[in-house]
Amino acid sequence: MDIFLQAMGELTRPYVILLIFGGVSAGLFVGAMPGLTATMALAVLLPFTFTMTPLNGLVSLGAVYMGAIYGGSFAAILVNTPGTPSSIATAFEGYPMAKQGRAMEAIGIATISSAIGGIAGVLFLLFLAPPLAVLSIRFGPAEFFWVAILGLTLIASLSEGSLLKGLLGGTIGIMLGTIGVSPIGGESRFTLGFPVMQGGIEMIVALIGLFVMPELYNMAALARTSLGAVSVSSKEKASFWRVTLKVLSKPGNLVRSCIIGEIVAIIPGAGGNIANLVAYNEAKRASKHPERFGTGTSEGLIATESSNNVTVAGSMVPLLTLGIPGAPPDAVILGVMLLHGLRPGLELFTTSGVLTYAFIISMGLAAIAMVPVGLLGGRLIYRVIFRTPYYFLVPTIGLATIIGTFALRNSMTDVFIMLILGTIGYLLKQIGIMPAPIVLGLILGAIAEVGYVQAILGGMAYRVPQVRLFENPLSWILIGIVVVSAAWPFILILLRRMRSGNKKGGAQ
């Protein structure tokens, strides 16, 4: 118990509080900028942490991470482009709300949900780390494969419109992901002889291209932005108390989304990217009015923004206990820890206990800090964007995306890929193939391939290696979820027919 008190004591120093607020603000800015991501922010911050004490360095990283995942919602809500991949689904509900003039309300909901999610993640980490860590390493190649398949079934329910077109988009994304060196086998695929194509298509580049460029083209076509002016009634609804009440009024949604966020977080390699989509899907399924999703429901927004912030602290469960990064930004944090001689494992919680607990608790404080920073910053950002004429917005966002794309791998080729994918994405959107399934395919295709091939290799001694995919009980659970998820639309139709059948029967 006194480790906790000591840890809290470390955090009351003014410099640390400054770092937390500064980190959250910087993270917010990075996350809100389409083109800059949380992982990038941490990688860039890395050298600066060398001059800091271990605690200060880790606190800064944690704060920036937390802020960045939250910040992604701003771009999603205001410009229909996810600022980070963790906010893809935020755009589904947030942007329609902004178009209706409810942008402030959306930002408010996103803020409170993110804060609650962040705190939930910290609590999971503090109290449930050991059992969650054990669960985390149960995920082997076969399980990764099924998780990826599960992710792909989300395409089915997330497709606004035609299921077939969604699937086509998904397969396009998967094939785009195969370009480059194969993850297993190390051989070049589809590179057309260009050495630079060995690097393939980076997910963020595709995300930016497919989401941002069509929005820019849209603004160019219409010669105006789509942001609706905030009405008086909406401003009232965006007040701190009203928003908090709204978020807390649906505890079931919150709890479910946070749990989903945590489970996805402990799967090594997955993270906010996938968590927000799964949580959104589940919120839609559990809702009494699933048809309203996509028009600006607060339920969907709460689900995505709370789940993705859970992953910040949540994905550190395997990191701190076993040294396994649960999400991409964790790799940077692991690097920093190793550099300062902090080895993950039991001694982190005993010998370096004060440091570790202080770090964990600091992330909770960062989550709380997001509220004032976000609400104030949100108002500011909204006003700036609303007042900026479309003819400046387009090139300025273009500037941010070009820089962000370039800075990712120091590659102008990536910038061209981004522009090309963006233009193609705009055209595809016209014929009904939406960007979200394509990006999902890109992310999940790689995970599915690696899982599948590694599982097969593990089963080389069997007559039919594919059996390996069905060996583990954890696989069975996942397969079950996949089947239910894929069949859900059809189950719904069946249920509706049964219900109307009963009514007829009753009337007789």
Would you say 179 or 258 has its CB closer to other proteins?
Answer: 179
**Backbone φ, ψ for residue 453 (5° rounding):** -65, -40
Q: Count the Cβ atoms, other than its own, within 10 Å of residue 245.
A: 11
User: Token digits for 232?
Assistant: 């008086």
Return the residue of 82, 96, 117, 141 that touches other proteins, per CB under 8 A: 141
Q: Using the rule CB under 8 A, is 150 a contact of other proteins?
A: no
Nearer to other proteins, 410 or 508 (CB): 410
Residue 123, interface with other proteins (CB under 8 A)?
no
For residues 163 and 255, which CB has a smaller minimum distance to other proteins in the complex?
163
> Minimum distance between the CB of residue 429 and other proteins, rounded to whole angstroms?
10
Rule CB under 8 A: is residue 62 a binding residue for other proteins?
A: no
Residues in 194-213 that interact with other proteins by CB under 8 A: 194-200, 213
Nearer to other proteins, 83 or 269 (CB): 269
Tally Cβ neighbours within 10 Å of residue 1. Answer: 5
57 binds other proteins (CB under 8 A): no
Query: In the window 256-285, what residues touch other proteins (CB under 8 A)?
Result: 268-269
Cα-to-chain-centroid distance, residue 460: 35
CA distances 137 to 143, 318, 392, Å, are 11, 8, 49
State yes or no: residue 164 binds other proteins (CB under 8 A): yes
The pair phi, psi for residue 188, each rounded to 5°, is -80, 135
Mention every residue, 6+ apart, whose C-beta is less than 8 A from residue 178: 189, 190, 445, 449
Q: State the nearest-atom distance from the C-beta of 434 to other proteins, in Å.
A: 11
Rounded to a whole number of angstroms, the minimum distance from the CB of residue 413 to other proteins is 9
The CA distance from 260 to 264, in Å, is 6
Q: How far is CA 313 from CA 134, 308, 442, 483, in A?
A: 17, 10, 25, 30
Q: Does 490 bind other proteins (CB under 8 A)?
A: no
Interface with other proteins includes 353 (CB under 8 A)? no
Work out which of 74, 92, 139, 382 binds other proteins, going by CB under 8 A: 139
How many residues contact other proteins, by CB under 8 A?
A: 107
Span 288-327, contacts to other proteins by CB under 8 A: 318, 322-325
For 180, the token pair is: 């480059």
Q: Identify which of 248, 243, 300 has the alpha carbon closest to the alpha carbon of residue 276.
A: 300
Residue among 218, 240, 214 at smallest CA distance from 227: 218
* Residue selected from 246, 313, 426, 439 as contacting other proteins according to rule CB under 8 A: 426
State which of residues 53, 249, 350, 396 lies at the interface with other proteins (CB under 8 A): 396
Three-state DSSP class for 133?
A: helix
With beta carbons less than 8 A apart as the criterion, state whether 320 and 326 touch: no
Counting contacts by CB under 8 A, is residue 67 touching other proteins? no
From the CB of residue 302, how many other CB atoms can be counted at a distance below 10 Å?
29
Binding to other proteins in span 214-243, by CB under 8 A: 216-218, 220-224
Query: What pairs with residue 180 in β-bridges?
Result: 189
| 334, 371, 375, 486: which one binds other proteins (CB under 8 A) | 334
Q: Residue 42: CB partners within 8 Å, gap ≥ 6?
A: 61, 64, 65, 329, 332, 333
Q: How far apart are CA 448 and CA 382, in angstroms?
A: 39
- Among residues 72 and 445, whose Cβ is nearest to other proteins? 445
Give the chain's end-to-end CA distance (angstroms, integer): 68
Query: Does residue 167 bind other proteins (CB under 8 A)?
Result: yes
Minimal distance in Å, beta carbon 155 to other proteins? Answer: 11
Alpha helices in 267-315 (DSSP H): 272-286, 298-314
Q: Contact with other proteins (CB under 8 A): which of 3, 52, 175, 259?
A: 175
For residue 34, what are its two tokens?
């389409």
Taking the least distance from each CB to other proteins, the nearer of 7 and 333 is 333
Which residue number, 296 or 329, has a Cβ lying nearer to other proteins? 329
331 binds other proteins (CB under 8 A): yes
Q: How far is the CB of 504 from other proteins (least distance, A)?
A: 25
Nearer to other proteins, 132 or 279 (CB): 132
Tell the smallest beta-carbon distance from residue 149 to other proteins (Å): 12
The pair of structure tokens assigned to 440 is 């999902």
Q: Scan residues 31-50 and list those touching other proteins (CB under 8 A).
A: 43-44, 46-47, 50
Residue 430 to residue 96: CA distance in whole angstroms: 18
Nearer to other proteins, 79 or 116 (CB): 79
466 binds other proteins (CB under 8 A): no
The token pair at 270 is 């997955």
Q: How far is the CB of 417 from other proteins (least distance, A)?
A: 10
Q: How far apart are CB 301 and other proteins at their closest, in Å?
A: 26
Say if CB 308 and CB 117 are below 8 A apart.
Answer: yes
- Which tokens sit at 265? 């977080």
Q: Which of 6, 100, 295, 411 binds other proteins (CB under 8 A)?
A: 411
- Please give the Cα distance from 49 to 56 (Å, whole number): 8
One character per residue 79-118, x = contact with other proteins (rule: CB under 8 A): ----------------------------------------
Query: Of 5 and 137, which has the nearer Cβ to other proteins?
Result: 137
- Binding to other proteins by residue 406, rule CB under 8 A? yes
